[in-house]
Amino acid sequence: MSNIFSASVGKKLLMSLAGLFLIIFLVVHLGINLLIILTDSHEPFNIAAHFMVSNIVVKVMEIVLFGGFLLHMFYGSIVSLQNMMARPVEYAKTNYSQSSFFSKYMVHTAVIITIFLALHIFDFYIKAKFLGKVQEVIYDGKAYHDMAALVIERFKIWWVDVVYIVALFGLGFHLHHGFQSAFQTLGINHPVYTPVIKMAGIVYTVLITIGFMSIPIVVYFFK
């Protein structure tokens, strides 16, 4: 029992838990980002963004989130390498099932997502918090970074939108397999519940992917 997290099953368990935490975060992140296109004013998004970076509870969760992402990426890499070393020779007959198709490219989509997140964090978070390159606005006598203006400015550039949308396809691809795989790793594998989880995973993936994609598209054409 003490060595469970050093075993392959333990690594998969930690990776799944971290992945589920990130899945929840995406819902919150999308909800805030949609304020940019659902309201005409920058104020709701700017206040929400300020709350996310200034509230002490959120700041602690931010550290947990970053740790969860690193944990998910770290153990995902280890598990993938272990699987590759365990099967150095390709099978003579490949399994072309839907699950194997999506799982086959989990590492590739993870790399795309990681590179995109690094650029995304620099482009928005670091510029605002450390480089002071975001203009400020005043609401009720209090200064806020005008993050909405920055987002709109970036999404008015067509190639930024293309990169963003391509990365979101990678995210959707990753989520489709990762959602149901996480529950399966946690032992939730039942003839009744598994199809429901798979359907929930598909619905979640579609909503999250389309939701995030809608932001650059609406901004570029209508803002």
| pTM of this structure | 0.74
Number of structural domains the chain divides into: 1
Question: Which of the residue ranges 64-73, 114-123, 133-142, 158-167 has the most confident prediction, judged by mean pLDDT?
Answer: 158-167
Q: What percent of the chain has pLDDT over 90?
A: 26
78-136 per-position pLDDT tens digit: 655 655 566 554 444 444 444 454 556 666 666 777 777 777 777 777 766 666 678 88
185-213 per-position pLDDT tens digit: 666 677 777 788 888 888 999 999 999 99
Residue 156 CB coordination number (10 Å): 14
Q: How many alpha carbons lie under 13 Å from residue 40 in its C-beta half-sphere?
A: 0
| Residue bearing tokens 């993936």 | 205
CATH of the domain at 11: 1.20.1300.10
Q: Which domain holds residue 169?
A: 4-87+95-222
Residue ranges of alpha helices (H) inside the chain are 8-33, 35-38, 43-54, 56-86, 98-104, 106-120, 127-129, 147-155, 158-185, 193-222
